[in-house]
Structure 1
């Protein structure tokens, strides 16, 4: 298994209609930023569905035109809006679109992209179907035999599947095969749910949103540790993502508690050369980190504090003198993990993480939306 983290950017539901609309302008800005500032450090970019608001060919042409700027792989899911014309023919006419379901192995991780909208007709008729379940079962078996970490990409939470039996079946597979991450669209707001084994993440829509400024998320999987950080489009670089240890909100395995000396690792994004990176521990002391060129990460060892939650801040400074930093809170065994429901819904939400763009208000135009 590769020791280098898998890192990807998630651009939320686009709902593209016309070139003059703000969401298309935002998409162009996001894609340009990813290409110029992050592309050499990302493994791929994900679009989680609802790419074209009405599933029309002229809308897909706009999406395809924007994505031409990217030099790294792009994976697209289908959403219910992509089905508004009764099928996905126009979706698959985009040069970048690949037939779903799709399995891709990257850095010792198995990335599985599935279509839960292919039998719908524009509404929230989310299904997997027997044929795709058989494919999924085979991929999970193969991945287990090769000792790979498993990531699943789908348009919506498993609990939104129309067939209750499919919900149960998918949740059972997630548990049996210890799927690390399920990454989704559809909610239209930033959401993180952690059932104690699988972390479910959704990123705010680029096209339809009631909370927070436009942006995209950057997600890392590092030997089972899930890291998630929202990047506001206007935020400056360098941009720090701590890829280990796990923040207490994202612990999905008891081996992710910290104790004694433990390693802190971070990836720093930005086109300018990073001159130095430092970490700050609970004693407010700054210590320099070492750059690992093969993994493109900064790392150092730190002593765990004897308390339930620790605090670790990583600060990176580029050649212009501009700093960027991020703070997480690792947990020791003194921290008691919350009870989990594990039903494939947002019931195991981590709640608000305001400094990370997760407001917990769940404002959105779909059935998951809650009134303010």
Structure 2
């Protein structure tokens, strides 16, 4: 378990689809890792998450591009899982070597692959699985493997599965987290609804909803998407390697007490970056607004490569006067402010002495909020939000996996 920073926060670097080190998206990856490593060095992020589809064809020479990029940042914690492209040619031998080198190292948490016997008519040998768990800042993080238990390969089609061993492990982990009072985040390549086995699809979505998992963070879509269901925020980030969705960059997600937040950080937008982590926006809320004596607490995560002493942060309600925010931890600022009857918007602005500024605006949830009922297709994109530019959402689902784009 890592040190408790108060607010759990990580960077999600979307599907890489690496081929050659000379490719533009390999250069984008190197720039993203440099920025994220600097932020981690200031204690502002817990790790970088790589959600699978790391290599276009799952080959050793493609993973070598990632290894070289990571070698430049030996102190950056990285948590990675497999995607369908990581077994594009029916084998995961080269991914296995990457997992052993990264996940099996101090920077990767020391996680080892597991071997399970599964009923596989084309390959009756024991199957290697790549799933693991870890606790960061009080949040239990569960990293799933939807790929190695399946049969998919290039020309055969996608075949996302979990297998009974992994499902049993997940159920035990979630139950234990409940007993310990820990919130949970699940990291996976795609939505539970994309699993091929109906019973597994229902089981995974049911476990997530039953245990109130706070966040499910995914790749695969190639576009930014948020699909809150009143209990869980399903969040996907745009691809780095096959991007039709806008400026390349990385997503930032955080869990702050009862609130889960998410925002995309474009690489072509200079730091600083700010994300309100409490209260919840009405679109992402799971509980009513907490207010006492006509006041609310506001907290925001600040990402900057400048010392905290250089930060200048303020919060404004609608068009009212600014209220100063002060640090309440190594990565967050805080203020307790009046919330007048009928107020609608909350804006937090940060500057850090570089001449750059960033602002996030949300619409806080109301005090009469009631979570919606379970969706008809739990664990799917059925509850996805429309365009939300402040968060980096275009709302058009560009990419190869929903609209058949030609990648």
Whether these two folds match at TM > 0.5 is yes
Alignment match, 1:120: 151
CA distance in 1, matches of 2:384, 2:400: 19
Are residues 1:91 and 2:95 paired? yes
TM-score (norm 1): 0.93
- How far does residue 305 in structure 1 lie from its aligned partner after superposition? 3.0
TM-superposition CA deviations, 1:260-284 (whole Å, max 9, x none): 3111011211112334211111242
Report the Cα offset of residue 21 of structure 1: 1.2
Matched, 1:34 2:36: yes
Q: Contact between 1:258 and 1:331, CA under 8 Å: does it hold in 2?
A: no
Q: Which residue number in structure 1 is paired with residue 399 of structure 2? A: 364
1:53 and 2:29 matched: no
Which of the numbers 269, 281, 296 marks the counterpart of 1:235?
Answer: 269
Residue in 2 aligned with 1:76?
80
Shift in Å at residue 109 of structure 1? Answer: 0.9
Q: Which consecutive unaligned segments of at least 5 residues does structure 2 have?
A: 104-110, 114-129
Q: 1:138 to 1:343 in 2, by over 3 A?
A: same
Q: Is the 8 A contact 2:279 2:365 kept in 1?
A: no
Checking the alignment, whether the CA contact within 8 Å between 1:38 and 1:271 is kept in structure 2 is: no
- Is 1:347 matched up with 2:377? no
The farther-off stretch of 48-57 and 97-106 is 97-106
User: Which ranges in structure 1 are unaligned for 5 or more consecutive residues?
Assistant: none
How far apart are the structure 2 equivalents of 1:275 and 1:349? 34
Q: 2:13 is matched with which residue?
A: 11
Report the aligned-residue RMSD. 2.1
Deviant stretches of 4+, over 6 Å: none
Residue of 210, 213, 218 corresponding to 2:252: 218
More displaced 10-residue stretch of structure 1: 151-160 or 36-45:
36-45
Call closer, same or farther: CA 1:242–1:298 in 2, change over 3 Å.
Answer: same
Residues 188-239 of structure 1: CA distance to partner in whole angstroms, max 9, x if unpaired? 0000000110100000000112221111101111113111110110101111
Does the Cα contact within 8 Å between 1:246 and 1:256 map onto a contact in 2? yes
Matched residue, 2:287: 254
Mapped to 2, the partners of 1:182 and 1:38 lie a distance apart of 22
User: What TM-score does the superposition give when structure 2 sets the normalisation length?
Assistant: 0.85
Is the partner of 1:187 in helix, strand or coil?
A: strand
Cα 1:3/1:9, change in 2 over 3 Å:
closer
Size of the aligned set, in residue pairs, is 368
